[in-house]
Amino acid sequence: MVIEMKRNGIEIDFKSVYDDAKIIWVRVYKKAGYILRREATFGITLTVAYNLKGEYIGDSRWAYRLWHRWGIRPEKRPGSKVCSIGYSEKDGKWYGWSHRAIHGFTVGDVAKEGDCVTTSGYTDEYLADHPEDDVSLPVGFTARTMDDAKTMAIAFADSVS
């Protein structure tokens, strides 16, 4: 179901992560960069969070924590269906995360042996057939710009997802 909505000056075409979800209510947290929606589907009612572009973040508690603890405005990383990276103006870092871990990166960070950014979340057999899916970074990679820090956050999120 695609929903067109306008709340607090934000217009979004929403597609629920659940195919036939009924929308019960919507709350927009513009400053924090996310929207909560109460959705009912298959007899279950859930409160789910989306960023301001309508991309899925996760549950309401995770969206709240990303903003209030780290100041992160979530966005999707390339090739993902879920927001798993984001920039924090609070501490000037790019963050990558999954349900297992979260880590921030900034200019000057270096990829060391054993760091999650230097390994892929895929098996060697999968990567042999799909080398384009490997976003891991070489040991010694140094973030010289904020774009490099974002690259490290993407590699981290890919590795821990």
pLDDT, tens digit (0-9, with 9 covering 90-100), for 74-133: 999 988 999 999 999 999 999 999 988 999 999 999 999 999 999 987 888 999 999 998
Range of the domain at 105: 72-161
Which of 46, 70, 94 is at the close of a domain? Answer: 70
Same domain, 62 and 25: yes
- 3: pLDDT confidence band, cut at 50, 70 and 90? very low
pTM of the model: 0.85
Do 76 and 66 share a structural domain? no
Residue 9 has pLDDT above 80, yes or no: no
Is there a single domain that holds both residue 139 and residue 83?
A: yes
Does 2 score more than 50 pLDDT?
no
pLDDT confidence of residue 23: 86
C-alpha dihedral, 156 to 114 to 92 to 57, nearest 10°: 20
Please report the pLDDT score of residue 62 as a whole number: 95
Residues 60, 109, single domain; the answer is no
Contacts of residue 105, Cβ cutoff 8 Å, sequence gap at least 6: 93, 94, 95, 96, 143, 149, 150, 152, 153, 156
Q: How many domains does the chain have?
A: 2
Which of 9, 40, 70 is the last residue before a domain boundary? Answer: 70
Are 89 and 121 contained in the same domain?
yes
Per-residue CA distances from 41 to 18, 22, 44 (Å): 7, 6, 5
3-state SS class at 48? strand
One domain for residues 16 and 87: no
Same domain? 11 vs 35: yes
